[in-house]
Amino acid sequence: MLNIDTISKSFGDQVLFDKTGFQINPGERVGLIGRNGHGKTTLLNMIAGQDHPDEGSISYPSGYRIGSLSQKISFTESHAIDEVMLGLLDHEKGHYWKAEKILAGLGFSQDDLTKDPCEFSGGFQVRLNLAKVLVSKPDLLILDEPTNYLDITSIRWISKFLISWPREVLLVTHDRGFMDNVVTHIAGIHRHKIKKIKGDTSKYYLQVVQDEEVYEKTRQNEEKRKKEIEQFITRFRAKARLANMVQSRIKTLEKSQTKNKLQKLKNLEFEFNCLPFSGKQLLMIENLSFGWQADKPLISNFSLTVYPDDRVAIIGKNGKGKTTLLKLINGTVNSISGSIKTNPGVHVGYFEQTNVQSLNDNFTVEEELVFSSIDSDRQAARNICGAMMFEQDSALKKISILSGGEKSRVMLGKLLMSPLNLLLLDEPSNHLDIEACDSFVCALDTFKGGVVIITHNEMFLHSLANRLVVFKNNTVSVFEGTYKEFLDKEGWGDGECAAGGKIKSPVLSKKEIRQKKSEIIAQKSREITPLKQKIKRLENDIDKNEALIAEINEALIEASNNQDGQKIQDLAKKLAKLENLNEILFDDLETQINSFEKIEELFNNQLEEFERH
């Protein structure tokens, strides 16, 4: 259990927390939410011991282990599997399959296990860090934006993994659907306080609205009552017979505390500047082919037409070509064959995560926007700064001091500076908070032009996509329909439908269920029984050897007392042989036990999966 008790934290004149706290109880999975800059990362750092509150305390029981996902990349091993095994507990150091299982869930192939961690992309290096934390089995697992570098299938896997996690979880993510699926409670940072409720984000936001309505009504009633008391005092102060009543009201007025009117919190609210387009087709792709290596094509003979009202989502596992396709469309990368044509009058806006590196660190936010468009002016830039939550002096912040989320908002702001009718977006929501993501979805929904977007956020896919480009089974194809229709008809092969339930499978009779379970149990017995027998034999052999070693040690003591050199020499040779034999037996026993545990886990998982279906 983790207890955060009346903590306060400020940076200069910026107050993050004001005498607030909450608890994480055994088995709870808590989603931490709040606007960017309101203290989520600071709170995580304080819990992990990397920072400290100005007042108050953060406590947990002795021996309570906290595991935190680090975005900092640092590896010491030459193989990915060895790097992840560093996270195993001391008594599990040889259990390599536990690391293998988690790496497979996070999208690593069998060949990847022996690769040098430094050979992987930044996203996969973060996954290695995540795997290292997961195998360590901490009492409290802290995950800060774990989905940023995961594809849809990996997000679905980690969602299931966390739901079955037997200890505590503290999760920060912009992916509202993922959070709601995983957590049991929400802890929200709001107006320098932390409020924890049981339920999902919708329930939390509803509770906040209701609390603030009650606060405002109470404040108004108290103000009204205060005015009535003041009027009574003014009116009857001079009347001697009412002196006691006047004095009583004066004391009441002195004791009363004035509630301040709640300051309106700024949300990210904006809309894209759409350039009218009268044509029928924005973009035509015909027989497009591309590969970084001639013998390994990423895209083959791919065709797609994008229309003005399209919301095309590009989906699939990482490393299969989604970003490459977007770069081909934008002209950043040249194709091997085929054609990409945009109609005259089409103006493209391109957002890519790595584009934040193109920002000029010496510019202010306002200057970055002004210089992004030939036709822009300072007032237009200021207006967009306000829409992107860089109000007043915040618009004069240097790019160099901005957080990742703030830089992403600057990149979005640059898209607003020019009229556009086709948006190409590569994971635009990664550094936005939940409130900003909601606003972003609304802005895309009302945009009058076409949108081609790469996202692993399933809420975005359900809300926006009317057509899909699917990278699956080493091919790329167009699915004419919504994301829900895709899940219902094809899916990812993980047994889940759009609503998060199971795809309907043939209904089995009770007799068939019993028979299937019996088959699994019988197969388990056939594979485990020989291992059990061998483990038993090895344990008996080791016990016999231990008894002989004890006898020889006693005989050595006696020979030493008798100063019988020859006998000491003979006994020492026998002892060395027995000890060497025991080392071999112990190694063999450990191997058999590991095999036994692995096979038992596999069959138990099969039975659990069968029960779920």
- State how far the Cα of 199 lies from the Cα of 59, in Å rounded to an integer: 24
Q: What is the 3-state secondary structure (H, E, C) of 488-524?
A: HHCCCCCCECCCCCECCCCCCCHHHHHHHHHHHHHHH
Based on C-alpha coordinates, what's the Rg of the chain? 32
Contact 451, 310 (CB under 8 A): yes
CATH of domain 2-204: 3.40.50.300
Residue scoring higher pLDDT (544 or 3): 3
Pairwise CA distance, residues 358 & 441, whole Å: 25
Measured distance CA(258)–CA(247) in Å, rounded: 20
Q: Is pLDDT at 506 greater than 50 in this prediction?
A: no
Distance set, CA 136 to CA 241, 590, 592 (Å): 77, 21, 23
Secondary structure element (H or E) that encloses residue 205, with its range = helix 201-236
Query: For position 503, what pLDDT does the model report?
Result: 35
Q: Mean pLDDT for the chain?
A: 84
**Amino acid in position 483:** Y
The proportion of the chain whose per-residue pLDDT surpasses 90, expressed as a percent, equals 31
pLDDT at 260 over 70: yes
Give tens-digit pLDDT for 381-405. 888 888 787 888 888 999 988 877 7
Considering the domain 283-489 in this protein, what is its CATH number? 3.40.50.300
Average pLDDT of 34-51? 89
Decide: helix, strand or coil at residue 436.
helix
What is the spatial distance between Cα 462 and Cα 481, in angstroms, rounded to a whole number?
11
Is the pLDDT confidence value at 598 over 80?
no
What's the confidence (pLDDT) of residue 429?
A: 81
DSSP category for residue 48: T
Q: Which of 68, 94, 62 is nearest to 81 (CA)?
A: 94
Taking the chain, what is the end-to-end CA distance rounded to the nearest angstrom? 34
* pLDDT for the residue numbered 380: 84
| Residue in 291, 327, 313 with CA at minimum distance from that of residue 478 | 313
CA torsion 560-565-571-575 (nearest 10°) is: 80
Mean pLDDT of 202-217: 89
Q: Answer yes or no: are the C-beta atoms of 434 and 462 closer than 8 Å.
A: no
User: Confidence band (pLDDT; 50, 70, 90) for 504?
Assistant: very low
User: Considering the chain, what percentage of its residues have pLDDT values greater than 70?
Assistant: 92
Supply the pLDDT for residue 497: 38
Render pLDDT for 182-199 as a digit per residue (tens, 0 to 9). 999 999 999 999 999 999
Q: For residue 569, what are the contacts with CB-CB under 8 A and spacing of at least 6?
A: none
Q: In this structure, what token pair is assigned to residue 77?
A: 């091993």
Location of structure tokens 């994480």: 24
Handedness of CA 356, 359, 361, 367 (dihedral sign): negative
For 610, other C-beta atoms within 10 Å of its C-beta total: 13
pLDDT of residue 325: 93
8 A C-beta contact, residue 367 and residue 402:
no
Model pLDDT, residue 421 = 93
Between vectors from CA 390 to CA 375 and to CA 46, what angle results, nearest 5°?
145
Is the pLDDT at 608 greater than 80, yes or no?
no
Chain segment 543-553, per-residue pLDDT in tens:
888 888 888 88
The number of CA neighbours under 13 Å toward the Cβ of 40 is 26
Give per-residue pLDDT as tens, 537-575: 887 888 888 888 888 888 888 888 888 888 888 888 888
Q: Is 359 helix (H, G, I), strand (E, B) or coil?
A: coil
Higher pLDDT, 377 or 333: 333
194: which strand partners?
A: 189
Task: Give the start-end residues of each E strand in 343-494.
Answer: 348-351, 422-426, 450-454, 467-472, 475-479
Q: Evaluate if residue 65 carries a pLDDT over 60.
A: yes
Determine the Cα–Cα distance for residues 137 and 144; give it in Å rounded to an integer: 17
Secondary structure class of 43 (helix, strand, coil): helix
Count other C-beta atoms under 10 Å from residue 115's C-beta.
16
Per-residue pLDDT tens over the stretch 295-317: 788 899 999 999 999 999 999 88
Between 228 and 307, where is the model more confident?
Answer: 307
What local confidence, expressed as pLDDT, does residue 495 receive? Answer: 45
The whole-angstrom distance between residue 184's C-alpha and the CA centroid of its chain comes to 16
pLDDT at 149 > cutoff 90: no
Domains of the chain, residue spans: 2-204, 283-489, 510-612
The two three-digit tokens of residue 438, written as one number: 């909601």
CA–CA gap between residue 118 and residue 163 (Å, rounded):
31
The per-residue DSSP string of 127-171 comes to HHHHHHHHHT--SEEEEESTTTT--HHHHHHHHHHHHT-SSEEEE
> SS3 of 272, please?
coil
Under the banding of pLDDT at 50, 70 and 90, the label for residue 58 is: very high
Task: Name the residue with tokens 């499978």.
Answer: 505
Single pTM value for the model: 0.68
- Quick: pLDDT tens for 408-455: 888 888 888 888 999 999 988 877 778 888 888 888 998 999 999 999
Burial of 212 (0-12, 13-18, 19+ CB in 10 A): middle
- What's residue 505's pLDDT? 39
Residue found under tokens 């112990």: 586
